[in-house]
Structure 1
Amino acid sequence: MKLRMLMLTAGATACLVFVATLSLSGAASDAVAADKPDPYGFENAPPAVQSLDLTALPEGSSSEGNALLEVRYVQGQVLPATIELTKDERKVELRASEHDPMLYAAYIDFDFDELIQEQQRRQQLAQTIRSVPVFDGRELVANIGLSFLEPSDVQARVRSHLPVRIPWETIFDVPGQIHAEKSLLITDPTVVQDPTRTFDYCDKSGGPNGTGNPNGAWSFKTLMTNMSSHATDSVGAANFVQDWLNTYSDRTYAAQRVINHWPRIAGTNTLDLDKSPMRLLAIVNRMDIRNNASYGGRNAGEVRFVFGVLGNDGNTDSVAGIRSCRQLAFTVILEYGIPQHGCANIQAYAQQWKSLGNLAWGAGYNQALQNVTNVVTARHAAPLKINGSAINQVRSDEISLLHPLDAFPSIEPDPEDNKPWELREYHLDPTTLGLKKVNVALTPDRHVGHNFNNTATLAQFINDNTNAILNNTYSVPALLNGQPFQALTSHNPHTHPNGVWKAPNIASNQARHLFSLNTCNACHGSETQTSFLHILPRDVDQSADLSRFMVGNGSLENPGTYTVVDPVSGVQRQFGELHHRQQDLASLVNMSCAGPGFVADLLGTNRVQIRSH
């Protein structure tokens, strides 16, 4: 068994020279001060760090903190003279050295005891943990031995006021501490079919009008009503849903398969939300897409509810109503922003998710989970957002509305892209207060007759934005060279290698890969070898199946990784989405905001470069 203990050698004392000569109030060199950083913001894409040192100051030597923080950033980055950080909800200014523009420093309050305790915990874990994964964004790039700083060495250097260098590999955590099936992606039937919190119109075991509670906390009716501006107006809430459904009317069989077969309130043409043909598939913790709190980020990630749409399969059947109760190749995801701000609040909310893993399935677990999800789904959960709803966006992924008969999973897309899967995104509109279709994130147009894949335009865009793509600070513009470029809907043809985003003369295949992976259609297709859905529709009393991208060659209870061959370069890439999320949540809850958690964000180990999915 290999233990990775990192000794703090005398080489770290070189920073003492900088301590003696640093002027924290001095200006940076003119060349650096004149440049501007990427406007995307360090809270989303922090600059790369070469080294980080903390020096405990003699008591009373500074009114600004008990420690000197020194950060050396990697050469070649355009950085401002001053970088603003957030520590314990207070602003801290990192200032560049007059003599070395990549070396920044600030006085801060830092809990060295927490750092020592964290390294002691890691030292103990290293007795039994052989290795931990290292992810670069969504890709597993290595497995290394669990590293730690020798706790007694840290203590000695703190007492002697010598710099403590903190390598990134001594910060990120062990994935196995998180129960993915209870804390990250919940699909267990005892939850998604909870008769007090969910409703399934097409499960007739509870009677002809369905099974469960249409007013339950996780029912489609409750979630959509709370999202709307009609909390006490059932007809208004129904019209809110109807207006959203009507946006699918451009799909050939939308009316036949879904809109006209949604049950109506007796004697009216108003949707009966008490009989919503929407089956809950999963509840998902996406705190991994939060932004960086140490660089001022206030986005705590998302909580998502995934529904399968139930509709008409076009076939006759002797059982009344059965034609409206077949699972379609159509899922809808409600994606809520978490209205928590500040490291301590975000960490406390993450701890609630982690603690779910200690509970047995049943009433106690479901109540605890509802306590967690109420934070985002409750009426007025986010008072400053439209309708007071915490919803960020609603997305859908379907192919059923182009096919008159087939039910899931028999549908396959047309290889010529004539009848592809389609992904859509909706935001609340500040004027109408309803759901409005918007351009899909980070995805160029791919419609027949207006397909940017395999074009010189795509190659030029990727080449012109290579550094931004590699740093994940780019965006896909609505217009490029005066022409529409970003997709209003994302067409997803197939998992054939030709389905990835590529073009001749792209200089960096890594940039091509990351660009493609961030698109809706390639993430749900060829770049991950996924057949369109990461969470699949389910039958009654069953758990939803998950894509290999989610669980790898493992399972929901024990996620692993799998290998995908890059269809352009032939490079083998390993993905393991839930495995990565396990590690991220463990790191978030185990490291205090006053100590290691702040350092982890500076080093980038708690930041995932995932922006669209």
Structure 2
Amino acid sequence: MSTRLLPAGFILATLFLHACGESKKKTPAQDAVKAATVNTAFESNPPIATSINVRALKEPINGNNVLLTATFPRGVIKDNLHAIVVNDETLTLRDDGSEGDEQADDGIFSIAINEDLNALKEDLIATQTANVDKLNRKEHLFRWSGRSATVIDNQVRETNVRNLDFEKGAVINPELFKLIPDPELRERSLMITDLGVIEDPTRTFNPCTRKGDPDGVWTFGHLITQMANTPATGISVNTFLQSWLEKWMAAQIINGDNVAARTNIFSVVILPWLQASNPGAIINTGNWKTFKFNLSLAPFRLLAIVNRLDLRGNSGYKISNAGEGRFVFSVLGTNCNPLRFTTILEYGIPKRTCKELHDFAQQWWDLKALVPGTPAYNDALQKITDQFTAAGTSPSKPNGSSLNQLRTNEIALARPWELREFKIGEKGLFEEVTVKQEPALKFNRLSGATLADQQVLAVYANNNEPDILNQTYVVPDIEPISVLNFLGGKSQMPVPAHFWDAATAAGPARITNDTVRHILSVNTCSGCHAGEAKTSVGNLINDPAGIPHASFLQIAPQPFGTKPTLSAFLTGDPSQADGLFRVTDPAGRPTGSPIQWTFNDLARRAEDLQLLLKTECGKSRLVGIVRALSFRPLNFTH
């Protein structure tokens, strides 16, 4: 059964009125509005308004009673018309001195809309009241800068939304719409690790005890079969699997980065699986491709089903990236104990309209009212996962699969810890590709980089400081100044306290901004899994059973019958009053008083899911516009 998004009395569906129709007679300005087009590049890197003001109009404009104005940094929007999509409707903000815009080309864009401002104020008051009630129960609300949090409890208490004067014009802070999320979201709607789910006997299978359903929809074998999509592609599942596993058997050069062979993949994974599948057969490195894998004996244990809608783009400009859904597996050894080897299947969400995205998010939200492991919960969860795991869910992608990428993280094959990334290529088989947002290891001071290579990293960081601070940067294949291969072919943790940095001494090889260094580092796989988020040393603070959390893993495998452990980066630190996990800047910056970075990523994701449902794809133009002009996508890979 669904639950309400918000407590009774302030659900947004009761808040807003339908927009009035335009007058029949069109002005030249209105014709210009019709011609405005959405810049779809803004989906991943949108212009963010520095302020948004809402004012009641004394005289309606084309039947609209409210004027919304948004100020942007000069030059960010090149034209004097700015089109956005709200509720699958294209709207145009103007900076041309007409249709309510006071002055042309001043960087202040305007749009006249029809809204019930009294109902808007009532909603904001109800939201603040609910938040204060939760603050009194020792819950917290945060402002997020990337992954790091700042408590804004005092702001929530001190902001007097009752005094908003729309007659004179009122500044609308997008944070006014934030509501402290229900704690059930974390384990039921975001990071699902309940044993009743990950060991559901009708959907998963234990290859060691042979208990469960070998064809279950959440088994590794079933998911791989759907990716191969043999009826449509003609590619056998066996050939598809081989194209992935063989990548470790030989050295590769990926974007100029040497990715050494890890031939132990044969003795650790390939051989035991094939021997169990073909009893008595003589199998070696020369003939293994002539044998078939029994998919029901796949040596993988499901650890988690993960909602990553937070990785979506800004739906105000396009919905080509609606975030991800993920399955996390551990690889099993011959004794059925989990190896230090995880495999993550990361699927794009095939939703392309605001309504589709909203309805899908609502399905995740509704899980919080159900009990994990019960038939009702598991049935509802499968209805969600089938939408992105089933064959043919993304017809325009290779094999019709919604898979974005498959990532691995292991030290079971060789040292050091290493992460790799694989995609389904145009030929329908796995290709090994660069690890996103992580430069090649040779540019990192901690890996013995030469001063010249450290300078390449520093030049990139310093030249892209605004984009890195805004989290809009994308690490390129080629560093444009040095014209060197830059993006890495693998991600490694050479030392436990690994993080990313260039030279420590002042000069052209030093990253000048402390926060830029941190963001660049924490957004790499190796930095986030190691010293930047302190995952490399493990922690016990979130594990009630006292089970150590394995280093370099955000979701650490455990044997069948035991829930996997989650890193404090994900869960926060419950021993702290604000629940945030604190990590002292591993580079010691600034010198003498290093920053303490604060993490609780599941809290961030919960706030995001709630805001998506409250402010995006709803009935209100005004709230949808505010969200589109304030939502900054996250260029994260993890």
TM-score class normalised by the smaller sequence:
0.7 to 0.9
Q: Is the 8 A contact 1:44 1:297 kept in 2?
A: no
Q: CA–CA distance in 1 between the matches of 2:496 and 2:81?
A: 46
Identity %: 33
Q: Does 1:598 align with 2:604?
A: no
Give the structure 1 partner of residue 180 of structure 2.
174
1 CA distance for matches of 2:95 and 2:60?
24
Q: Contact 1:279 / 1:310 at 8 angstroms: preserved in 2?
A: yes
Which of 587, 591, 598 aligns to 2:611? It is 587
Contact 1:68–1:106 (8 Å) recurs in 2: yes
2:145 partner letter: D
Instruction: Output the amino acid matched with 1:84.
Output: A
Q: In 2, distance between residues paired with 1:453 and 1:381?
A: 47
Task: Tell me which residue corresponds to 1:193.
Answer: 199
> How far did 1:350 drift?
1.3
Displacement after TM superposition at 1:474 (Å): 2.0
Which of 143, 150, 153 matches 2:152?
143
Per the alignment, in what secondary structure is the counterpart of residue 423 of structure 1? strand
TM-score for both structures, normalised by structure 1: 0.80
Equivalent of 1:344, from 352, 355, 380?
355
Question: Deviation of residue 472 (structure 1)?
Answer: 2.1
Q: Partner of 2:331: helix, strand, or coil?
A: strand
Distance 1:448 1:513 in 2: 16
Residues 56, 339 of structure 1: alpha-carbon distance in 2 compared, 3 angstrom cutoff: farther
Q: Deviations over 1:316-366 (max 9, x none)?
A: xxxxxx3xx332111000011111233332222112111111112311111
Name the structure 2 match of 1:91.
90
In structure 2, the residue corresponding to 1:92 is in which secondary structure? strand
What are the equivalent positions in structure 2 for 1:48-127 lying under 5 Å apart? Answer: 48-57=48-57, 61-62=61-62, 67-74=66-73, 77=76, 79-97=78-96, 98-108=103-113, 110=115, 112=117, 115-127=120-132
| Secondary structure of the corresponding residue to residue 585 of structure 1 | helix
SS of the residue aligned with 1:175? coil
Contact 1:560 1:579 in 2 (8 A): no
Say if 1:285 and 1:148 are closer, same or farther in 2 by CA, change over 3 A.
farther
| TM-score, with structure 2 as normaliser | 0.77
Aligned residue number for residue 7 of structure 1: none
Match of 2:530 in 1: 525
- Structure 1 residue 545 corresponds to structure 2 residue 565: yes
**Residue 409 (structure 2) pairs with residue 397 (structure 1):** yes
Aligned to 2:495: 494
The letter of the residue matching 1:494 is V
Distance 1:99 1:451, change over 3 A: farther
- Distance in 2 (alpha carbons) for counterparts of 1:200 and 1:270: 20
2: CA distance, partners of 1:147 / 1:296: 36
Aligned-residue offset at 1:272 = 0.9
- In structure 2, relative to structure 1, the CA distance for the partners of 1:466 and 1:611 (3 Å cut) is same
Are residues 193 and 293 of structure 1, via their aligned partners in 2, closer, same or farther at CA, if it must alter by over 3 Å? Answer: same
Distance in 2, matches of 1:353 and 1:273, equals 29
Q: Does the 8 Å CA contact 2:500/2:520 hold for their aligned counterparts?
A: no
RMSD: 3.1
**Superposition pairs for residues 423-438 of structure 1, below 5 Å?**
423-430=419-426, 432-438=427-433
In 1: Cα distance, 2:122 partner to 2:358 partner? 18
The answer to whether the Cα contact below 8 Å between 2:190 and 2:605 also exists between their aligned partners in 1 is yes
Partner of 1:375: 387
User: CA contact under 8 A between 1:177 and 1:586: conserved in structure 2?
Assistant: no
* Superposed counterparts of 1:199-598, under 5 Å: 199-202=205-208, 204=209, 210-231=210-231, 236-249=236-249, 250-263=261-274, 265-266=277-278, 269-312=291-334, 322=335, 325-361=336-372, 362-402=374-414, 419-430=415-426, 432-446=427-441, 455-480=454-479, 481-496=482-497, 499-504=499-504, 505-531=510-536, 532-554=552-574, 560-568=579-587, 569=589, 570-591=594-615, 593-595=618-620, 597-598=623-624
SS of equivalent to 2:566: coil
> Residue 85 of structure 2 aligns to a residue in which SS?
strand
Does the Cα contact within 8 Å between 2:54 and 2:67 map onto a contact in 1? yes
Secondary structure in 2 matching 1:335:
strand
Aligned counterparts of 1:300 and 1:523: Cα–Cα separation in 2: 23
Amino acid across the alignment from 2:89: R
* CA gap 1:66/1:260 in 2 versus in 1, 3 angstroms: farther
Letter of the 1:96 counterpart: D
Q: 1:40 to 1:577 in 2, by over 3 A?
A: farther
Distance 2:554 2:86 in 1: 37
In 2, are the aligned partners of 1:339 and 1:382 still within 8 Å (CA)?
yes
Superposed displacement of residue 527, structure 1: 0.9
CA-CA distance at 1:109 after TM superposition:
5.2
Indicate if the aligned counterparts of 1:494 and 1:526 stay in contact, CA closer than 8 A.
Answer: no
Unmatched 5+ stretches in structure 1? 1-22, 28-36, 205-209, 313-321, 403-418
8 Å CA contact 2:48, 2:632 repeated in 1: no
User: Per-residue displacement from partner, 1:452-476 (whole Å, max 9, x unpaired)?
Assistant: 5871111111111111211222222
Tell me the residue number matched to 2:189. 183
Tell whether the 8 Å contact from 2:233 to 2:399 is kept in structure 1 after alignment. no
Q: Check the 8 A contact 1:178/1:586 in 2, yes or no.
A: no
User: How far apart are residue 178 of structure 1 and its match?
Assistant: 4.6
Structure 1 counterpart of 2:189, which letter? S
CA shift, 1:523, in A, is: 1.1
For 2:404, what is the secondary structure of its paired residue? strand
- Is the CA contact 1:227–1:391 (under 8 Å) kept in the aligned structure 2? yes
Is the contact made by 2:43 and 2:316 (CA closer than 8 Å) also made in structure 1? yes
Of stretches 500-509 and 371-380 in structure 1, the one that deviates more from structure 2 is: 500-509
How much has 1:108 moved relative to structure 2? 4.1
Contact 1:527/1:566, CA 8 A, preserved across alignment: yes
Query: CA offsets per residue over residues 524-567 of structure 1, 9 Å max, x none?
Result: 11111112110011111110001110112139xx9932111112
Counterpart-to-counterpart distance in 1, 2:211 and 2:274: 15
Q: Displacement of 1:50 after TM fit?
A: 2.2
The worse-fitting range, judged by mean Cα deviation, of 302-311 and 260-269 is 260-269
Cα gap change, 1:238 to 1:451, in 2 (>3 Å): farther
Are the aligned partners of 1:561 and 1:579 in contact in 2 as well (CA < 8 Å)?
no
Q: Distance in 1 between matches of 2:455 and 2:606?
A: 40
The residue type equivalent to 2:188 in the other structure is K
CA distance in 2, matches of 1:86, 1:110: 17
Question: How many matched pairs?
Answer: 538
Quick one: distance in 2 between partners of 1:115 and 1:148?
Answer: 19
Task: Determine the C-alpha separation between the residues in 2 that align with 1:293 and 1:548.
Answer: 31
Q: By how many angstroms is 1:512 displaced? A: 1.1
Distance 1:95 1:590, change over 3 A: closer
Q: Is the Cα contact below 8 Å between 1:111 and 1:594 reproduced in 2?
A: no
Aligned-pair CA distance for 1:211: 1.9
Q: Give me the whole-angstrom Cα distance separating, in 2, the residues matched to 1:363 and 1:525.
A: 38
Q: Tell me the equivalent position of 1:132.
A: 141
In 2: Cα distance, 1:477 partner to 1:300 partner: 23
